[in-house]
Structure 1
Amino acid sequence: MRGTDMSHTARAHTLQEIFGRPGTGPLAGVVVADLSRVLAGPYCTMLLADMGATVIKVESAAGDDARAWVPPHRDGESTFFLSVNRNKYSIALDFTDPEQLALVEQIVARADILVENFKPGGLARYGLDYETVSAWRPDLVYASITGFGTAGGAELPGYDLLAQALSGMMSLTGSQHGEPYRAGVALFDVITGLHASTGILGAFHERQASGRGQHVELNLLSSALSGLVNQSTAYVAGGTVPARMGNEHPSLYPYEPFPARDKEIVIAVGNNGQFARLCACLGVPALAQEQRFATVAARNANRAALRELMVERLAVRDAEDWFQRLMAVQVPCAPILAVDEGVRFAQGLGLDPVALAGSGDREIPTVRHPVSFSRTPVDYTQAPPRLDGDRDRVLAWLESGKPAVRKAS
């Protein structure tokens, strides 16, 4: 049975009437059954929701684990949960109850896309695994996110911190002679969520031509190794095992923070022209022509000497002064800001990083969707949902279609 039980336009109109979304985004009329929780899956489905998809977030009676992850919070609600769940509709269902499981199946029956991050094999007991569902929904795009795949890593818990450790990421983070550090955010959950949205959209595009869905599988470790880009490729292609270098870059110099008179400033030189302009701004233009520093390779080989010279010149001005002077001559640089300062800096650039999701007394400040569309803009109609807060609307939507589904076993 096809999930598209009516024309796309008619479905989009019905969804707009029942759920109240304006239907302007590029995915308006697309329905996503979101069986994921915590971060990687919810981040993926929020991106799809922002683009207009109707995302039905199916939660247990206890709700997404992230609802309890405090502090910090906003009016008692976890900001972790709020960060990845806007524009969704929540319904709480008990998979172990046959009647409620039947409702889950009805949601799946009317969806175009399903996203889940259960432990490998966890949905099989409910008949909601890919093999079972694809037999009666061959057109469904079914995305599964795991920590370490479904073979040898199936039993490993899917935590971002484990992926940072096992991928080699932590071996690269921290000072050269210090202890390894994790990134300050669950980086590989986010990267996996991004990869998931890309894979889903690719499979959905193909479905439009073939009429058939497919299984899109992702795991944190594969996303981590892909996300390590030049560092992982240094080993697989060059046989070089990268090591911790603090804030330095393995291939470029200068490319790290330097102390100015009052505080540090990041200087990131990527080519010889930028280095020449840097030297001129520092008042030592001849430095760019010295054999020790004239090329990328030479600067890498003589880092210590170059750093000593730069620190001496940078000490005569404050970081903000250098920031203005270096940017004026197109030398990449930046002060090191706290998160609040970073948000305000983006605001100063006109990037409008804060988007209010929802309306009235349920209007939550969130971080704006990173993509702008010239014809089909994203919207922020729905605040992150309260647990089971959209049950009536979801049930009304199910009643509006009455698709035939297999009976729950």
Structure 2
Amino acid sequence: MRILLGADTFAPYVNGAARFAERLAAGLAGRGHEVHVAAPSPTGAAGVGRFGDVAVHRVRSHRYPWHESFRVCLPWEAGPATAEILRRVRPDVVHVQAHFVVGRGLAAAAAASATPLVATNHFMPENLFAHARVPRFLRSAAARWAWRDVRAVFGRADAVTAPTPRAVALLTGATGLAASAVSCGIDAARYAGGDERPDTVLFVGRLDQEKRVDELLRAVARVPGARLEVVGDGTERGAWHRLAAELGIADRVVWHGFVSEEDLVAAYRRCAVFCMPGIAELQSLVTLEAMAAGKPVVAADAMALPHLVRPGRNGWLFAPGDVEALAVRLAALLADAGTRRRMGTASREIVAGHTLDATLDAFEDLYVRVAHVPSAGPVAA
């Protein structure tokens, strides 16, 4: 098939949605499909490049004033640009990864040309509030408006998916759209191996408010001898650096920033425990990756994380904000190598249900089905 993916974030950007789009595109191309991606330009200028065997059509972008590494496309430029990309590519199916500017433009163009359309939701309003500088007193109203916008864009699709049953429930409850769960999937084999450092906790992700790394720092401060490695960057980087110094643990925290894929795999392999304190995870690819590396996980009891962490089996959940409970769980795991091994084995068993091959199978089946039915309503995945 000729497949056009619409991604509002894509390589070289590092985040869960971007990495999923990269793996999906590369995986589909590896199965012999002709894959194209429409995505914002990382430099500003429009053009066409390559991502392995994938053609990437870059849409003109502009620097976002409140985030030094983030770029945005303007609707009045992206709409015509994405319509032209669709006209040139002439895909059998369009699959948008977001309802933002690029996804919105492609969804509109697909609907206008009767091209089969699949939409996958990775969005929660909480993930954008800090970037958009939305005051707290306006966030409830802003969230309702944002979900109405999701419905307006994804309501054009022949099929809608989200990464987990919890993500589907959130989307359906907020928009009324029918959707099905398709895991983002990972290549679990690449994370296996390596020797752990028994005193090391790892966090991977954006350093933004909803990730709650401040709670992890406060918990680590209560566990003598514990070290923390942080991979990622974001708007709270400076504040959390200062917090580590205030807590007296600056010498026990390593801030890696963005790293290569090889260095990320190495970080998973050497940690003893992975921690995800974030409260807005629709699946959490990084948690899946840590589990594939055979690590126990301590995670917030929030959103989709309970789909991955089975208390007492492959890790523990803690109530968001309960720093003492988080510290107790981390301390217990760091002190017990036998439990870490047992839970790490369970993590690998759970990850077996989230293979990239299964994800590719599911989307291939969905593409074929929507490409052979009238675009008159949603099709169950």
Q: State the TM-score bracket (shorter-chain normalisation).
A: 0.3 to 0.5
More helix by share: 2
| TM-score between the two structures when normalised by the length of structure 1 | 0.33
| TM-score between the two structures when normalised by the length of structure 2 | 0.34
